[in-house]
């Protein structure tokens, strides 16, 4: 039996319940993994609230790290006793132990802790595909990155710095702006006290940015489009303030803008690509180019408090559940 977080109806953090559930043995292509730490992400809140519908009762969590307990037939890249971490298309990581598909589970290098592994896989591989797989980026390009003091944002700030990309980061307080700057953002904007589009125009001398990377959604959409230079790329990869409002293609025509809505889970659907992306991320961390900042830790039984902090925007960096 393993302690497992479930919810039987959608709603606020109060719908999350901790229960004991049987684990079982892995089948073909599966592993059984015992968690040491579990990562939290905004997608967990979207699913719990019903914004992203799930069949109920349901489980949450797509990111964790721990030790492989058993492997099923056909699994060759992992063995019992291996340290491992993952971001997975299936949900259910909010637990002590479970059986899951092995394809997106990656061997975790010894130089990276379990908490770092749990905090970095979904967020770090998101940055990897944003910078290397969504649109070509090169040294000298300029990127506007919203929520630059969050778990994804702080990795993005460091990643950009390591590759000579100018990053303009936005955040919701002066303290968060300072945090983003300390992690490599070249410019920072407090979007609660400044018009970020006007500041971007000032910073870029009226040229605009090559790419906007926006996980905020509704409240930043129009301003983000205004920040782009002609032929620029708008990358919408989340909606923490609500879904992006409906728009017409004509809204893009003035500057011949491009828009995309990628997801990590499309990129990691092939195991080979997932493993390649993870190795790239691990190399960044082991080289010291990227440090994984974990600012909040909650025991598994305090999962409701963790969700409350996440939704209230009281968090910086990454948040993990300890198991």
CATH of the domain at 21: 3.90.180.10
Res 42: pLDDT: 85
Average pLDDT score over the chain: 95
Which CATH number goes with the domain that contains 223?
Answer: 3.40.50.720
117 and 153 co-located in one domain: no
* Gap between the Cα atoms of 199 and 305, Å rounded: 35
Give domain status of residue 171, yes or no: yes
Give domain status of residue 111, yes or no: yes
Res 23: pLDDT: 96
Res 244: pLDDT: 83
Give domain status of residue 256, yes or no: yes
Local confidence band at 238 (pLDDT 50, 70, 90 cut-offs): confident
Give tens-digit pLDDT for 89-130: 899 999 999 999 999 999 999 999 999 999 999 999 999 999
Mean pLDDT of 66-84: 98
Local confidence band at 198 (pLDDT 50, 70, 90 cut-offs): very high
In the predicted structure, residue 151 carries a pLDDT above the cut 80: yes
Mean pLDDT of 179-198: 96
161 and 180 co-located in one domain: yes
Mean pLDDT of 58-87: 97
110 and 147 co-located in one domain: no
Give domain status of residue 285, yes or no: yes
List Cβ neighbours of 205 (8 Å cut-off, separation of 6 or more): none
Beta strands in 130-262 (DSSP E): 142-145, 166-171, 187-190, 209-214, 228-236, 258-260
Give domain status of residue 127, yes or no: no
* Percent of the chain surpassing pLDDT 90: 87
Res 129: pLDDT: 97
Give tens-digit pLDDT for 204-227: 999 999 999 999 878 889 999 999
158 and 274 co-located in one domain: no
117 and 145 co-located in one domain: no
178 and 216 co-located in one domain: yes
250 and 214 co-located in one domain: yes
Q: Under a CB-based contact definition with an 8 Å cutoff, are residues 240 and 42 in contact?
A: yes
In the predicted structure, residue 188 carries a pLDDT above the cut 80: yes
Q: Which residues pair with 169 in a beta bridge?
A: 145, 188
105 and 73 co-located in one domain: yes
Residue 133 in tokens: 């797989």
Between β-strands 166-171 and 142-145, what pairing exists: parallel, antiparallel or unpaired?
A: parallel
Looking at 214, 245, 261, which one is the last position of a domain?
261
* Gap between the Cα atoms of 280 and 85, Å rounded: 14
Nearest to 238 by CA among 257, 256, 212: 212
Res 261: pLDDT: 95
Indicate the number of domains in the chain. Answer: 2
Give tens-digit pLDDT for 2-51: 999 999 999 999 999 999 999 999 999 999 999 999 999 888 998 999 98
Res 168: pLDDT: 98
pTM for the predicted model, two decimal places: 0.91
Looking at 261, 278, 294, which one is the last position of a domain?
261
Give domain status of residue 130, yes or no: no
214 and 291 co-located in one domain: no
Looking at 227, 246, 261, which one is the last position of a domain?
261
Give domain status of residue 129, yes or no: no
38 and 93 co-located in one domain: yes
CA-to-CA dists, residue 236 to 19, 63, 215, 222, angstroms: 36, 21, 6, 12
Res 245: pLDDT: 84
* Gap between the Cα atoms of 92 and 117, Å rounded: 17
List Cβ neighbours of 268 (8 Å cut-off, separation of 6 or more): 87, 89, 104, 125, 274, 277
Domain that holds residue 187: 135-261
234 and 293 co-located in one domain: no
Local confidence band at 239 (pLDDT 50, 70, 90 cut-offs): confident
* Gap between the Cα atoms of 217 and 215, Å rounded: 6
Looking at residue 242, the DSSP 8-state letter turns out to be: S
For residue 19, give the 3-state DSSP assignment. Answer: strand
Res 312: pLDDT: 87
Local confidence band at 165 (pLDDT 50, 70, 90 cut-offs): very high
**DSSP notation for 128-163:** HHHHHTSS---TT-EEEESSTTBHHHHHHHHHHHHT
* Gap between the Cα atoms of 166 and 187, Å rounded: 8
146 and 95 co-located in one domain: no
């Amino acid at each position: 039996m393993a302690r497992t977080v479930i919810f039987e109806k959608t709603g606020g953090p109060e719908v999350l319940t901790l229960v004991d559930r049987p684990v079982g043995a892995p089948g073909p292509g599966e592993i059984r993994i015992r968690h040491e730490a579990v990562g939290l992400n905004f997608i967990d809140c979207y699913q719990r609230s019903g914004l992203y519908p799930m069949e109920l009762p349901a489980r949450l969590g797509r990111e964790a790290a721990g030790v492989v307990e058993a492997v099923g037939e056909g699994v060759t890249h992992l063995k019992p006793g291996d340290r491992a971490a993952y971001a997975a298309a299936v949900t259910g990581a909010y637990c002590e132990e479970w059986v899951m598909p092995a394809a997106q589970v990656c061997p975790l290098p010894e130089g990276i802790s379990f908490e770092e592994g749990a905090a970095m896989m979904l967020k770090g591989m998101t940055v990897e595909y944003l910078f290397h797989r969504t649109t070509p980026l090169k040294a000298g390009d300029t990127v506007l990155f919203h929520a630059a003091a969050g778990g994804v944002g702080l990795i993005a700030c460091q990643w950009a710095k390591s590759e000579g990309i100018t990053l303009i980061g936005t955040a919701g307080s002066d303290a968060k702006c300072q945090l983003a700057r300390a992690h490599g953002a070249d410019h920072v904007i407090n979007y609660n006290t400044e018009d970020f589009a006007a500041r971007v125009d000032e910073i870029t001398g009226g040229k605009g940015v090559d790419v906007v990377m926006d996980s905020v959604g509704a409240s930043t959409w129009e301003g983000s489009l205004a920040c782009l230079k002609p032929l620029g790329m708008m990358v919408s990869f989340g909606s923490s303030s609500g879904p992006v409002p409906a728009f017409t293609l004509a809204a893009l025509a003035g500057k011949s803008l491009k828009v995309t809505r990628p997801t990590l889970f499309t990129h990691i659907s092939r195991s080979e690509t997932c493993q390649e992306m993870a190795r790239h991320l691990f190399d960044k961390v082991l080289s010291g180019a990227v440090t994984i900042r974990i600012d909040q830790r909650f025991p598994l039984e305090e999962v409701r408090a963790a969700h409350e902090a996440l939704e209230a925007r009281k968090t910086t960096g990454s948040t993990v559940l300890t198991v």
